[in-house]
Amino acid sequence: MARPTIADIATRAGVSKGAVSFALNGRPGVSDATRERILKIAEQMSWRPHSAARALGASRVDSVGMVIARPARTLGVEPFFAHLLSGVQSGLSAESISLQLLIVEDTAGEIEVYRRWASEHRVDGVILVDLTVKDPRVDELKALELPAVVIGGRGGKGALASVWADDRDAMLAIVEYLAALGHRRIAHVAGTPNFQHTQRRIRAVRDAAPRLGLLDAPSLTTDFSDAEGAAITRKLLSQPDRPTAIVYDSDVMAVAGLGVAMEMGVAVPGELSIVAFDDSILTQLMHPALTALSRDTFDFGRQAAEVLLDTIADPTTVINRRTADPVLTVRESTAPPG
Amino acid sequence: MARPTIADIATRAGVSKGAVSFALNGRPGVSDATRERILKIAEQMSWRPHSAARALGASRVDSVGMVIARPARTLGVEPFFAHLLSGVQSGLSAESISLQLLIVEDTAGEIEVYRRWASEHRVDGVILVDLTVKDPRVDELKALELPAVVIGGRGGKGALASVWADDRDAMLAIVEYLAALGHRRIAHVAGTPNFQHTQRRIRAVRDAAPRLGLLDAPSLTTDFSDAEGAAITRKLLSQPDRPTAIVYDSDVMAVAGLGVAMEMGVAVPGELSIVAFDDSILTQLMHPALTALSRDTFDFGRQAAEVLLDTIADPTTVINRRTADPVLTVRESTAPPG
DNA sequence: TGGGTTTGATAAACCGGTATAGCTCCCGAA
DNA sequence: TTCGGGAGCTATACCGGTTTATCAAACCCA
């Protein structure tokens, strides 16, 4: 028989549908003996719950969603999302909950997706990335009453659950390391200005500058693309008092920056030190290999999944979980200034 | 009222549930006037179908799945999948069908997922990538009666629908171009040997070699990782009669190969020409920028989605659609041999 | 021994749609 | 004048689970 239903199991076990449902969901209402028997039969018939039927009755679909709002062009090279995804899945697979992934162009599209998901009951909750300042998605999700967890930023005052790492401390560690090497002119090629993590990193650099006696520590924002990363680097290296070290907010921009340095004949790390605020094979493929901040992105995703499941189970308690601090992996692209 | 049902619409319109269902699905059974009225009310109440309910009744879930069986570590850097995904989604969004994405470690895990999806009715069909020789997934999907479309390889003799590009012609174009430049020692750093497209490319090189008067044209297989790509390159460049041109089956390996050449002091393109059989920002970030074979991966995905939807609608006709031929984008990494 | 509670189970309602049998008009043809 | 047939709609079964009301038997303590 193809695809047995609980009714089939019920007939075979000589009990009612209800009893089978109780047994399969481990809830009281049947004796241990009966439960045992039902479970064995279900196993034999290789029964699996029909997700739609269960969703209809129990009003939960065992599925969560994640929307990434970045142009596909820039997305692929960043291993960040692939690792994050794998992590999220590993966190979900234990409960055999599936993941819906959607790549959209912008935040408006993302909100549209949330509305659709909510009204069609397609997901039990969502995972948010790239939180911005005054992020409209937070209010929207509140309004939709869709459980959510924010990755990489506090969800605001009691608003949404979150999983975050300490960007500030990480950035301080980088700048302090460069200062200790002797650098006094450090530039920061940041990401999109309205991302919360961008702002935190910029603030960290600004705050540390006077304490470390830095002559200059500009933070320059970009759209996270290789093109802008390269353009800003070109500008920086053309200045009379050019920086002796540059910190990039992503590995892709760091690679682009390295390319510009080579093109302009600026030796790395002899005349310029480069640090990437994110690690991946990309940084290791380069010559010189790039010093980078390594975060356990996989674990990040895993924890986000866990927190989301907890939030779905009990939407009243808002969890804010801090993950392991990122560490600086020193490679060949950093050295004392020439 | 939160989340209206068709029953709510029915009461408000003063008709039966059935009439509403007919009207909303654009099928005969109601007059144009009534249909109009019902649609307007549904719009007003911002009704959306409950996906689970629809799935239960109509035994279709408006959702398709895609499983990628590669270690997450190697996945991220390859823009291929990100582009493919976006394309697939754009093909699906028109019908507002959602996509389930899963990254697993190996084919066994992938088949497991298909079994689960089939038994839980979670997807209407799946998209297959990285087809291997004698691929076990094909038979499995046949057995599960799960509609499927294969990307980048013919689905076998009438087995599964497919969307494919002509790898053979593309590889011939590359080799002919290199031969025309004057290269006679061309090496081919291929991917995983049991992938069908790897085999097709290897065969193309082997077939073209005598005709083009190549002295040597070895194809060396790898696991597609940067590490093996680098290792093989090191070996090739250490030979007494080292190749004057190398074709890499992926952009990541080509980048790794370029790194090895630089590390060994082999000038590119002066002493060695490099071609990547896949294009992305990665190849453009390099110095020199890599000559690469550009495929419209986005469109590839879009077409796969279309073919899959057709296959779901009518599983009896097997579609094998050939996509636009890839083109060779010449950049700075190819030149006549020194 | 009798009344109240617990245990183990059943039958039926329900979730929100789709599919279908059947009913009522109304129109046209025999 | 009657009958056939189609258009337009209703009532209802159904999909495969979950949940609740109900009930009989067993159990418990006085």
pLDDT tens-digit map of A158-214: 689 999 988 999 999 999 999 999 999 999 999 999 999 999 999 999 999 999 999
Q: What percent of chain A shows pLDDT beyond 90? A: 70
Burial class of residue A96 (count of CB atoms within 10 Å of its CB; 0-12, 13-18, 19+): exposed
Angle, CA of B181, B185 and B189, to the nearest 5° = 105
Q: What are phi and psi of B68, to 5 degrees?
A: -110, 120
CA distance B87 to chain A (A): 9
DSSP for A7-23 reads HHHHHHHTS-HHHHHHH
pLDDT at A156: 63
Of A127, A49, A143, the residue nearest A300 (C-alpha): A127
Asked whether the beta carbons of residue A280 and residue B256 sit closer than 8 angstroms, the reply is: no
Confidence of residue A95 (pLDDT cuts 50, 70, 90): confident
The Cβ of residue A187 has, within 10 Å, a number of other Cβ atoms equal to 26
Whose CA is closest to B118, among B96, B99, B140? B140
Q: Which residue in the block uniquely carries the two structure tokens 């509609």?
A: B147
Give the residues of chain B that fall short of pLDDT 70.
1-2, 72-77, 155-158
Chain mean position to CA A124: 19
Quick one: average pLDDT of A228-247? 96
What is the three-class DSSP state of A309? helix
Residue B35 CA and nucleotide D9 C1' are separated, in Å, by: 12
Nearest CA in chain A to B226: A285
For residue B244, give both structure tokens.
């004057």
User: A285, B78: Cβ pair inside 8 Å?
Assistant: no
Ranges assigned E (strand) in chain B: 63-69, 98-104, 125-128, 148-151, 161-164, 186-189, 219-220, 245-248, 273-276, 291-294, 320-322, 327-329
Q: Are B318 and B158 in contact (CB under 8 A)?
A: yes
Round to whole Å and give the CA distance between B117 and A62. 13
Helices A17-24, A32-44: axis angle to 10 degrees equals 90
pLDDT score recorded for residue A59: 78
Q: Which of B83, B104, B115, B281 has the highest number of chain A CBs within 10 A, making it the mutation to test binding with A?
A: B281
pTM value is 0.89
Predicted confidence (pLDDT) at residue A311 exceeds the cutoff of 80: yes
* DSSP type of residue A319: P
CB contact under 8 A, A121 and B96: no
**B6-13 and B32-44 helices, crossing angle to 10°:** 120
- Running DSSP on this structure, what letter comes out for residue A318? P
Report, as an integer, the average pLDDT of A259-280: 94
**Percent of chain A scored above 70 by pLDDT?**
96
> What pLDDT does A96 receive?
81
Task: Report the mean per-residue pLDDT for chain A.
Answer: 91
For residues B311 and B325, give the distance between their C-alpha atoms in angstroms, rounded to a whole number: 23
Strand pairing category for B63-69 and A320-322: unpaired
> Residue A206: left (phi > 0), alpha (psi -120 to 50), or beta?
alpha
Q: What are the residues with a C-beta under 7 Å from any atom of nucleic chain D?
A: A 3, 5-7, 17-18, 21-22, 24-25, 27, 29, 47-50, 53-54, 56-58; B 14-19, 22, 28-31, 33-34, 56-57, 59
Q: Phi/psi of residue A200, each to 5°?
A: -65, -40
Return the bridge partners of B53, or none: none
The dihedrals phi and psi of A169, each to the nearest 5 degrees, come to: -60, -40
In three-state secondary structure terms, A64 is: strand
Using the CA of B33, give the nucleotide whose C1' is nearest.
D8
Backbone angles phi, psi at B101, to 5 degrees: -115, 135
Measured distance CA(A290)–CA(B285) in Å, rounded: 15
By Cβ distance, the residue of B3, B49, B61 closest to A52 is B61
Residues 6 or more apart whose CB falls under 8 angstroms from that of B329 comprise: B279, B291, B292, B293, B294
Once rounded to an integer, what is the mean pLDDT over residues A102-107? 88
d(C-alpha A70, C-alpha B79), whole Å:
13
Residue A73's closest chain B neighbor by CA? Answer: B83
What was the pLDDT predicted at B155? 63
User: Which pLDDT score, from 0 to 100, does residue B74 have?
Assistant: 64
